[in-house]
Amino acid sequence: MKIAIVGATGLVGSVMMRVLAERSFPITELLLVASERSLGKEITFGGRKHQVVGLEAAVAAKPDIALFSAGGATSKEWAPKFADAGTVVIDNSSAWRMDEHIKLVVPEINGDQLTAADKIIANPNCSTIQMVLALRDIHRNFGIKRLVISTYQSVSGTGVAALEQLDGERKGEKPAMVYPYPIDMNCLPHGGDFDEDGNTSEEMKLVNETRKILGDPSIQVTATVVRVPVKGGHSEAVNVETRKPFELDAVRKMLAQTPGIKVQDLPDTNTYPMPLYAEGKDEVFVGRIRRDTSRPNALNMWVVADNLRKGAATNAVQIAERVKDIIG
């Protein structure tokens, strides 16, 4: 298949290439697409060098699938142009996620809803993907009434410049500031832009995307997003209140049997998920599974994943694999 990666020079774009290679995705032609300042740059993939091309040239080439990770403004302008040319766009930005006509997909949950008519498909936010995968069977079996989420998100979720800020601060330098405050030795309860109610855009993604992916607008969701001085991997403390009673052993068994989930939950041996050990892996790791005794039908769990892989690139490539099977 002819594949385009829009935003190929960025963090997620580079991981997309790595995941495509690891999963042996059948590529007959690869188009690496970026902004004008990167045109002509050479990137090695599959043992050969590829020159970065512009968006217009990529549209004209009519790729079968275009993986977008170039920001919302680029996606809003260019995804429809690719779609009009017959390309299926899988977009990693927030531009299309809440469009009622666009599907928001985590393949293990709702990938079976994709059809040949879907020309723009939205990839969810990184923190949403890992959480809803862990919630999938809890919701299907017990019904989720309410979620209380606190995230501990790595700086790689903000991009290369944020990594450079963290590295510079650790070296005692004065790097360009991506965040409004230092991030090293600090935690910032601030992800995205604040709205008039005091919530941030990253927090509202967890609220709205969770409801859309799980197909239940009645789920009550509240979230606090925190950026922490970790280079890679997002962590989440998730409190789940269900509509029906459950047994913890049944929850653990369901999680262990969920594709893409790895349970790490042995307190006696200090076995629990940590971002340091999730980095570079595709699984979503779940641990600290325990009953919340302050409320009926409630439990706590700790959910960790590599935000650049399952939280972005791997999920997008898994969608592409589904699309490949649909369009042949």
* Cβ atoms of 3 and 90 closer than 8 Å: no
Residue type, 238: V
Q: Do you know the residue count of the chain?
A: 328
3-state secondary structure of 55: helix
Check if 50 is active-site: no
Phi, psi of 166 (to 5 degrees): -60, -45
Q: What distance in Å separates the CA atoms of residue 123 and residue 321, rounded to the nearest whole number?
A: 14
Computed from CA positions of residues 204, 207, 208, 209, in that sequence, does the dihedral angle turn out positive or negative? positive
Residue type, 90: I
Residue type, 128: T
* Cβ atoms of 5 and 31 closer than 8 Å: yes
In 3D, which of 203, 205, 214, 201 has the Cα closest to residue 132?
Answer: 214
> Which one of the listed residues 101, 126, 139, 187 is annotated catalytic?
126
3-state secondary structure of 156: helix
Tokens of 185: 């030795």
Q: What distance in Å separates the CA atoms of residue 163 and residue 14, rounded to the nearest whole number?
A: 15
> Which one of the listed residues 50, 101, 139, 234 is annotated catalytic?
234
Dmax over Cα atoms in the chain, in whole Å? 60
Q: In b/e form, how buried is each residue of 258-275, taking b as 16+ CB within 10 angstroms?
A: bebbbbbbeeeeeebbeb
Phi, psi of 80 (to 5 degrees): -65, -30
Check if 187 is active-site: no
Q: What distance in Å separates the CA atoms of residue 126 and residue 93, rounded to the nearest whole number?
A: 10
The catalytic residues are 126, 234
